Amino acid sequence: MFDNTSRRAFLKQSAVVGAAVLLRDGLATAQEAEPVWRDRIGLELYTVRDVMADDFEGVLAKVAQIGYKEVEPATGFNNMDAKAFRALLDRYGLSMPSTHTGYLSADDPEIERKLEALQVMGVRYTEIRPAGAPAQTQQRRQLEPGAYYDQGTGITHNAFKEAGAFGPYQPKVKLDAVKKRAAELNANGKIAHKFGMKLFVHNHTGEFEKLLDSDQTTYDVLLAETDPELVTMQLDIGWACIAGMDPVAMFRKNPGRYELWHIKDVFGLETVNKSLSPNERVSSMSLVPVGTGQIDYKPIFAQAKLAGLKHFVVEQDNAAAYGDSLAAVRVSYRNLRGML
């Protein structure tokens, strides 16, 4: 028989044990829960820039209708102020955790006001150009829509007409230049951090070329020299694979550094001359809707936790060349849903 004191002690102990069991089970459930990114497939709006130019909101509505939940603008915010743009996103159930617009410059006297505007729009990751660096949109204004002039070859490409891959001109650089860039990223990252944001580093193929005076690559140095609390990597998996990189091996070497991904698919990886340098490989490739190329994304997504993945967006630079960029992003969405 229990006396009252023993009964109270027993009940108290039982409650503690029960709470511990509930806590343990709750933690286990949380650990087993599906990652948030799985149901938040995003789209880099650069993919549909050909049609957004004439009907920004209409295209945004169609993107949401396909099933995309997040967007990453690359050509500005439709001349809307922060509150109006946030309201537009909310109207279609979209969020914008990152922006890729070249909107910010380190020497802009209004940089903090602009960061506040990004904060209103829900941005958590952004870029800040080094002082004096021109925005990409400024560099393209004198070219026809979809066109890009390659300073290295003198060739003007057009992503609205060409299925073949082409990237930006990326001349080789020296170690000191990359270290300077890393220092600028850290300094500008401190500014962004005050507004709850991180800076990100986006890649093409040139970041994986050996430096002029070192066996390291730009990517190696930026990973080593940037503060993970201030700067993360936005790994463009398509360009990395073109360059001959193994994304999973990259995750293992630098776990947690790849919070953002660009998902693009490529045809030509299996037949490219492996002795070519990262930049030289590009001309052998075609960019295609996700799931129709030669990148196997299942083992890559299987290591998302190791990578530190928070958000990802589909991007097909030349979707318009397939005749209908919205149809292309619909194919990519459908195929991705089947993989995740």
Strands 156-158 and 147-149: antiparallel
- Spatial separation of the C-alpha atoms in residues 125 and 325, rounded to whole Å: 26
Contact 238, 295 (CB under 8 A): yes
Q: What is the pLDDT of residue 132?
A: 74
DSSP annotation of 71: E
- Spatial separation of the C-alpha atoms in residues 267 and 285, rounded to whole Å: 6
Neighbours of 47 (CB within 10 A): 27
Which one has a higher pLDDT value, 11 or 132?
Answer: 132
DSSP annotation of 164: B
Q: What is the pLDDT of residue 131?
A: 82
Q: What is the pLDDT of residue 164?
A: 93
φ/ψ (deg, to 5) at 267: -115, 135
DSSP annotation of 137: H
Q: What is the pLDDT of residue 13?
A: 56
Structure tokens belonging to residue 104: 């910010």
Dihedral sign computed on CA atoms, order 117, 120, 313, 127: positive
Contact 336, 291 (CB under 8 A): yes
Question: What is the chain's Cα-based Rg?
Answer: 23
Neighbours of 230 (CB within 10 A): 18
- Spatial separation of the C-alpha atoms in residues 45 and 120, rounded to whole Å: 19
Q: What is the pLDDT of residue 181?
A: 97
Q: What is the largest CA-CA distance in the chain?
A: 95
128-159 confidence digits (pLDDT tens):
998 877 665 445 558 899 999 988 889 999 99
Indicate if the pLDDT at residue 58 is higher than 70.
yes
Q: Of the candidates 150, 161, 181, which has an alpha carbon nearest to the alpha carbon of residue 279? A: 150
Q: Coil, helix or strand for 1? A: coil
Q: What is the pLDDT of residue 29?
A: 43
DSSP annotation of 34: P
In whole numbers, what is the pLDDT of the chain averaged over residues? 90
Q: Of the candidates 139, 165, 137, which has an alpha carbon nearest to the alpha carbon of residue 53? A: 137
Structure tokens belonging to residue 305: 């936790």
Extended beta strands in the chain, E state: 42-44, 70-72, 125-126, 147-149, 156-158, 198-202, 231-236, 260-263, 265-267, 286-288, 311-314
Q: Coil, helix or strand for 217? A: strand
- Spatial separation of the C-alpha atoms in residues 2 and 8, rounded to whole Å: 9
Indicate if the pLDDT at residue 7 is higher than 70.
no
Give the mean model confidence (pLDDT) for residues 188-213.
98
Structure tokens belonging to residue 120: 């209103």
67-97 confidence digits (pLDDT tens):
999 999 998 999 999 999 999 999 999 999 9
Q: Coil, helix or strand for 73? A: coil
321-339 confidence digits (pLDDT tens):
999 999 999 999 999 999 9
Structure tokens belonging to residue 22: 């509930």
